[in-house]
Amino acid sequence: MRNIIFEIIDKTGRKIHLSKERWGKHIRLLHPEIIKPEEVAEVLKKPEIINESDRGENVRWYYKYDKRRKEYFKVSVKYLNGTGYVITAHYTRKIE
């Protein structure tokens, strides 16, 4: 568990984690506007919308509107064997 930044139970009761690899080598590198992992956890705990992805039946998109930015914070999660892990997180203007 040393390579895990957080593990939470989402709004639907499923366990999701964010790895140090996904955080450091993907999210922070490609989306530096996301400053803290807690921002990602907050969307997973209290999303306004959860949609199925068109990129795979085991992927879900979690959205929470950010009034300050006037955009949605989107977190992509993939589920394997009932447990989810964060693929990426970024801001977007539209819900897919």
Residue 94's pLDDT band (boundaries 50, 70, 90)?
very high
What token pair was written down for 60?
């879900």
* pTM across the whole model: 0.92
**Per-residue confidence (pLDDT) for residue 19, from 0 to 100:** 97
Strands, sheet with 83-92, edge to edge from the N-terminal-most edge strand: 4-9, 15-19, 83-92, 71-80, 59-66, 49-52
pLDDT computed for residue 1 by the predictor: 54
Give the whole-angstrom CA distance, residue 8 versus residue 93: 26
38-85 pLDDT per residue, tens: 999 999 999 999 999 887 789 999 999 999 999 999 999 999 988 999
